[in-house]
Amino acid sequence: MTKTRVYLAGDMLKRGSQLLREQERNRLAQIPGISVHNPADDEEINDKSRSPRAEDIFRKDTEAILESDVVIFDADDDSVGTTTEIGQVWGVNYMHRRLTAALINSDGTDADFGKRVRELLQEIPFKETYWQCTDIRNVPNVDERGLRRSYSLNQYLYGCLLDLAGDSSTFDEIVVELSDEVSE
């Protein structure tokens, strides 16, 4: 019997949230046929003494989301990582619905399905993406440790941005790059 894979998404940065995620995981695990992934349980990326990189956190959590059958969100304005996951799952489900419709509406041939997918890709083009961070606390080359940090992005969000568009740019750099691309 194949188990239904559940991804448990919600804040995990405060002790109370960690206890809630643990309680939720334990309750779900009692349901026969359910396999629960609680990202907080992944010590490879959540044991901060191992210095996990944002890219690793993003990759591991995203793989678990994509492999899941069900995602349960505890939506909270203060949980940036969870908010990023919500947008990611929305995008996956949107494209899944559109591709399923293309398949259902095709005449059953690979050629017709391929044509419909190409039309979908034309309708929803790949988004060239840039990002900036204008927070005044974002000062390069400042060595901060422990709680004495003036600034930090949520690491799941940061990993998503790095995967989506690479390193941050200033707005001026983005304007120059876009100008160069448009003029080519």
Which tokens hold the place of 136? 């005044």
Which tokens hold the place of 76? 């909270």
Which amino acid, residue 118?
R
Inter-axis angle of helices 110-123 and 80-105, nearest 10: 140
Q: What is the mean pLDDT of residues 40-52?
A: 89
Pairwise CA distance, residues 95 & 98, whole Å: 5
Q: What is the pLDDT of residues 58-97, one digit of tens each?
A: 999 999 999 999 999 998 878 899 999 999 999 999 999 9
CA distances (Å), 91 to each of 115, 133, 171, in order? 22, 23, 26
Identify the CA nearest to 63 among candidates 40, 37, 29, 26. Answer: 37
Work out the percent of the chain whose per-residue pLDDT is above 70. Answer: 95
Query: Is-contact 12 21, C-beta < 8 A?
Result: yes
> Token match 């017709």: residue?
112
Which tokens hold the place of 68? 């899941």
Residue 138 — φ and ψ, nearest 5°? -80, 85
Give residue 94's pLDDT.
93
Pairwise CA distance, residues 116 & 109, whole Å: 11
Pairwise CA distance, residues 101 & 117, whole Å: 10
DSSP for residue 34:
E
At 182, the pLDDT band (50, 70, 90 cuts) reads low
